């Protein structure tokens, strides 16, 4: 499974150096694809410049003007996201596809519930099932691609309504696998006998808490069924939090895929599981002696950048500290005016609150080295 996010602001040439650094940080956290809105040719020039300075695959998101797509493909852009229905007639679509073939660039067809073709939107207003409408719109766009023999394609169908998102992706998966649809479904025949890669997500999911809850509720059932090849958690929040949320949703889906059992359960979980840190933290209460909230805020991005299978516990007091988090490779908690750092339930260091971050960093380095030594010993 591939995690992606989307750049939140418009870039300028003066932003390039800072963008390169931030993209490197996103990669270290597990982001594998980064999408940029490209509203005009000036933005295409900036993105093209950036694409030559990073190893992260960059995607150009384009609407209305096919010439922007053509210009973006003059640079090492990894993918183009378009909706063929809003960039002009078939001759313009063909021009984009021809250049995509020449450059070896895949294209994502992005269908959103809020931007359906007018005739389909009118039928939804008259009672047409919105999920079926999303699939119909995707199939219509794929038919245009088929007409020109273009198959290097990814599809996404997103809605802010969770049921529509789940149903549309399930219906589309059946269609592209040539399985019979529900008798009530009135969709065109499958465009191809081959499955089409799916990018999944909930559009306009909301701010951090709302968006994570809603995205998890929609995406975990799909992922646990093996639906989806790339994922984005769309939040009114930072890119870093989108990546963290996606990692945790994938982890939850891996666990859920094993609940149902069956021969596919193990393979499904393996596809979703990711190496890296597992963070456990208590919610904090009136008994707390350590500011878990502040520590999490300071350390979360750095912890998720760790390329080690390690469990980190951030606990508020001695009750939840070494006791309940005894299995953690490293943990931190508080007692009175002291901060305690522990490993596998054993306190290894006691420091003041002002020394806590530095001491934790030193012990974290030791803990990760210990994991490396254990891994080497297991190999031997």
For residue range 81-95, what is the model confidence (pLDDT) as tens digits?
Answer: 987 667 778 889 899
- Are both 97 and 47 inside the same structural domain? yes
Domain finish residue from 272, 295, 326:
272
- Token pair, residue 54, equals 């990073």
Same domain, 244 and 341: no
Residue reference for tokens 């949703």: 249
Phi/psi of residue 183, nearest 5 degrees: -55, -25
Q: What is the pLDDT of residue 283?
A: 81
* Pair (86, 206) in one structural domain: yes
Alpha-carbon separation of residue 29 from 165, 243, 278, 304, 340 (angstroms): 27, 7, 12, 5, 27
Residue 193 DSSP symbol: S
**DSSP letter, residue 373:** H
Structurally, the chain folds into a number of domains equal to: 2
Confirm if 246 and 252 have CB atoms less than 8 A apart: no
In contact, 189 and 130? CB cutoff 8 Å: no
Which pLDDT score is estimated for 256? Answer: 84
- In the prediction, which pLDDT does 81 show? 93
Answer yes or no: do 297 and 346 share one domain: yes
Tell me the backbone φ, ψ of residue 309, rounded to 5 degrees: -80, 90
Taking CB atoms within 8 Å and a gap of at least 24, the contacts of 178-185 are 185/132
CATH of the domain at 374: 3.30.413.10
Count of beta carbons in the 10 Å neighbourhood of residue 372: 10
Phi, psi of 58 (to 5 degrees): -105, 140
Stated length of the chain: 380
CB 59 within 8 A of CB 26: no
100 and 238 fall within a common domain: yes
Which helix (H) or strand (E) segment holds residue 59: the answer is: strand 58-61
Helix (H, G, I), strand (E, B), or coil: what is residue 112? strand
61 φ/ψ angles, rounded to the nearest 5 degrees? -100, 115
| SS3 of residue 93 by DSSP | helix
Residues of the chain with pLDDT under 50: 178-193, 262-263, 373-380
Residue in 8, 61, 10, 2 with CA at minimum distance from that of residue 238: 8
The CATH number linked to 183 is: 3.20.20.20
Q: What kind and span of H or E run contains 33?
A: strand 33-37
Give the list of residues 6+ apart from residue 116 with CB closer than 8 angstroms, or none: 124, 133, 134, 137
End-of-domain residue from the set 272, 298, 320: 272
Same domain for 321 and 202: no
pLDDT of amino acid 57: 96
pLDDT for residue 34: 97
**Helices 239-259, 292-304: crossing angle, 10 deg rounding:** 80
pLDDT the model gives residue 82: 86
Could you tell me how far CA 296 lies from the centroid of its own chain? 21
**Nearest CA-CA partner of 83 in 40, 141, 134:** 141
Domain boundary among 272, 292, 312: 272
What does the alpha-carbon distance between residue 126 and residue 120 come to, in Å, rounded to a whole number? 10
Q: Which domain holds residue 69?
A: 2-272
In tens, the pLDDT along 158-168 reads 998 999 999 99
Is residue 74 domain-shared with residue 104, that is, in the same domain? yes
Indicate if 266 and 282 belong to the same structural domain.
no
User: Across-strand partners of 167?
Assistant: none
Find all residues with CB under 8 Å of 331, minimum gap 6, and list them: 312, 313, 314, 315, 321, 322, 325, 341, 342, 343
268/291 same-domain check? no
């Amino acid at each position: 499974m591939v995690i992606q996010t989307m750049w939140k602001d418009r870039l300028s040439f003066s932003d390039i150096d800072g963008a390169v650094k931030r993209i490197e940080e996103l990669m270290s956290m597990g982001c594998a694809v980064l999408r940029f809105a490209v509203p005009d040719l000036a933005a295409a020039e900036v993105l093209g410049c950036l694409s030559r300075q990073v190893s992260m695959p960059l995607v150009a998101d384009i609407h209305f003007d096919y010439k922007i797509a053509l210009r973006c493909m003059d640079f090492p852009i990894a993918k183009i996201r378009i909706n063929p229905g809003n960039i002009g007639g078939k001759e313009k679509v063909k021009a984009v596809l021809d250049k995509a073939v020449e450059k070896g660039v895949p294209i994502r067809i992005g269908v959103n519930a809020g931007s359906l073709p007018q005739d389909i939107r009118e039928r939804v207003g008259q009672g047409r099932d919105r999920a079926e409408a999303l699939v119909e719109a995707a199939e219509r766009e794929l038919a245009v691609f088929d007409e020109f023999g273009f198959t290097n394609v990814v599809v996404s169908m997103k809605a802010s309504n969770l049921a529509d998102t789940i149903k549309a992706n399930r219906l589309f998966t059946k269609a592209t696998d040539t399985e019979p649809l529900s008798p009530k479904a009135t969709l065109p025949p499958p465009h191809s006998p081959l499955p089409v890669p799916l990018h999944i997500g909930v559009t306009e999911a909301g701010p951090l808490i709302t968006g994570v809850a809603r995205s998890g509720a929609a995406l975990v059932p799909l992922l646990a069924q093996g639906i989806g090849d790339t994922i984005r958690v769309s939040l009114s929040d930072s890119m870093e939090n989108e990546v963290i949320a996606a990692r945790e949703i994938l982890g939850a889906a891996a666990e859920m895929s094993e609940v149902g059992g069956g021969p596919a359960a193990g393979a499904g979980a393996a596809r979703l599981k990711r190496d890296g840190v597992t963070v456990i933290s208590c919610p904090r209460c009136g008994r707390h002696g350590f500011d878990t909230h502040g520590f999490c805020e300071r350390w979360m991005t750095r912890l998720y950048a760790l390329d080690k299978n390690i469990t980190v516990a951030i606990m508020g007091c001695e009750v939840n500290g070494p006791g309940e988090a005894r299995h953690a490779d490293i943990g931190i908690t508080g007692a009175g005016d002291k901060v305690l750092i522990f490993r596998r339930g054993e306190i290894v260091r006691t420091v003041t609150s002002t020394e806590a971050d530095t001491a934790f960093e030193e012990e974290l380095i030791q803990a990760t080295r210990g994991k490396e030594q254990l891994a080497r010993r297991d190999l031997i």
